[in-house]
Each structure stands twice: as C-alpha cells, then as structure tokens.
Amino acid sequence: MRLIVVGAAGRMGRELIRTVAETDGATLVGAIEREGAAEIGADAGELAGAGPLGVEVTDDALPVFARADGVLDFTVPAATVAFAELAAQARIAHVIGTTGLSDDDIEKLVAAARHAVVVQSGNMSLGVNLLAALTRKVAAALDADYDIEIVEMHHRNKVDAPSGTAHMLGRAAAEGRGVEINDHSVWTRRGHTGERKRGDIGFQTLRGGTVVGDHTVCFAGPHERIELTHRAEDRGIFSRGAVKAALWARGRKPGFYSMADVLGLGE
C-alpha cells in the first residue's frame, strides 16, 4: 500500500516514517510538512533515522496525494481538516491521529468520509482501545455511587488538554453509564467548588518531562476504588496502530471508522 506521512518532521511523523519503512506491504511514497518548514527537501528516511528512502519532504501535497493509497495524519486540527478534503478528492484512506479536534472539525471529517475511508481515533494503541472497552463495561456494571475521574499525564510539549484519549475514555464511561458526556463533564476545579455532584465525570491533566502518555480511569466508590491504567512507553504503539488501520482500510467502502472497528473490539 502506497502511504503518505503528513507532519513528517513531527514526533509522530518521524515515528510513522520508521514504521512504514519496516512494515511488509507498506511503502512510503510521500512526506509532507508545513510550508516554510526547515525540513522541506530532506530525505524523509534520513529525517526519521531510518536511512535514505528516496522520498523528499515537500509542502506540495496535491501531486503526492494523486499517487498514494492512504495518508497517515498526526498533525494539528486545521491541517487535518484540509488534508481530509484532499484525501476525499483523491479517494484515498485517511488515518487521523490528530487530537484537539472540535465538533465542527469532526463534522467536516464525517462529510469527507462520504467519499473515502476515514479512520479517526484519539489513540491508536491496542492497549488504550482495550482500556476504553473495559471502561465502558465497568461503568455499566457500577452505579453513580462510584465517582468517575480520568487522570492523564503527557510530555511538556503537548499542546491540547485534556488528551484525545481522556476524551475517548470519558465518552466510553458515559456510554457505559447511559448518560450524555457533555451533561456530566467537569474539566477544572479551583477554590470553593462545593461538594462533588453525583454522576459527574472529572478530568485531570498533568504535563511534564518526556512522558509518552499515561491514562487512569478511577471509579471511587464507598470504601473502595477501582483504577484502570494504561502507560505508553514508546510512540511505536501509536504508529504501528496507524499503519495497521491504513492496511485495514484498503478496499473498504467509504465511511467514518474508529480504531475499535480496526481492532474488532466493537463499541
């Protein structure tokens, strides 16, 4: 499968280039960066530490999309929405790991998915998608005597909060409980907050150092606590998930899919 990596010079971009280079059945045919980026013209493989691959980093997306079967996109929301239009026009699969997407952005991605396969997930790892499934199950088994708090920690360079994964886990908890997440989320606490409201789902964000990504869903009940935790130790878990999603997408009919679909975990 001929794949493009957009945001090629980023932390995930470089990881994706290495993963594509080492995956049977996948070939890197394009590497795209922002206009004016210092890496334009560099060999994508050398940039990623995979050795020369003969693919130059470019900011000219159109001709690259025309010769590919899929695009791997871990960039920023505005770029992802723009790439979704290009992928839809070219009828190629779009695998989206970008987080911090607004409801409006998601609507545009769903519209693009009428013409091409879109796989979008705030976390492409097997472990986190399993954690989301477990969170849904535990939330369904317990009543609101068990207070749900979601805690995440990431590296100091992360620009969005709470993480896409925390949002995903919050949605899973709300679905398990049979409530609407937007009616129950508590994003910050400071000062005289009053007592915790029954049924609230709280989110706490930590940032620092080089932490790849830690997530805990805590169910705090009467005299006991259940904590489900995932710790990412290497970005390869995300890039391998993304390449798996691209290979899964090949030949599939257009639509908006999740990593749970790719992994057969159901919703």
Ligand X SMILES: NC(=O)C1=CN([C@@H]2O[C@H](COP(=O)(O)OP(=O)(O)OC[C@H]3O[C@@H](n4cnc5c(N)ncnc54)[C@H](OP(=O)(O)O)[C@@H]3O)[C@@H](O)[C@H]2O)C=CC1
34: partner contacted, choices ligand X, ligand LZUJQKHR, none (Cβ within 5-8 A by kind): ligand X
7 binds ligand LZUJQKHR (CB under 6 A): no
Nearest to 27 by CA among 246, 256, 267: 246
75 binds ligand LZUJQKHR (CB under 6 A): no
What minimum distance in Å lies between the beta carbon of 161 and ligand LZUJQKHR? 9
In the region spanning residues 135 to 194, those forming contacts with ligand LZUJQKHR, defined by CB under 6 A, are 154, 158, 163-165
Does residue 87 contact residue 111 with C-beta atoms inside 8 Å? no
Nearer residue to ligand X within complex by CB, 1 or 8: 8
Phi first, then psi: what are they for 265, rounded to 5°? -90, -10
The Cα 79–Cα 98 span in angstroms is 9
What minimum distance in Å lies between the beta carbon of 238 and ligand X? 4
Nearest to 132 by CA among 176, 172, 175: 172
Q: Is 34 annotated as a binding residue?
A: yes
Nearer residue to ligand LZUJQKHR within complex by CB, 96 or 139: 96
What minimum distance in Å lies between the beta carbon of 150 and ligand LZUJQKHR? 11
| Long-range CB pairs of 207-213, under 8 A, 24+ apart, other chains included | 207/153, 207/154, 207/155, 207/156, 207/158, 207/161, 208/153, 208/155, 208/156, 209/155, 209/156, 210/155, 210/156, 211/153, 211/154, 211/155, 212/154, 212/155, 213/123, 213/152, 213/153, 213/154, 213/163, 213/165
**Catalytic one among 94, 108, 115, 154?**
154
- Residues in touch with ligand X (CB under 6 A): 6-7, 9-13, 32-34, 37, 74-76, 79, 97-100, 121-124, 164, 238
Q: Is 208 annotated as a binding residue?
A: no
92: partner contacted, choices ligand X, ligand LZUJQKHR, none (Cβ within 5-8 A by kind): none
The Cα 99–Cα 76 span in angstroms is 7
The Cα 235–Cα 232 span in angstroms is 7
Q: Is 192 a catalytic residue?
A: no
- Which residues lie near ligand LZUJQKHR (CB under 6 A)? 99, 122-123, 154, 158, 163-165, 213, 232
Q: Which residues are catalytic?
A: 154, 158
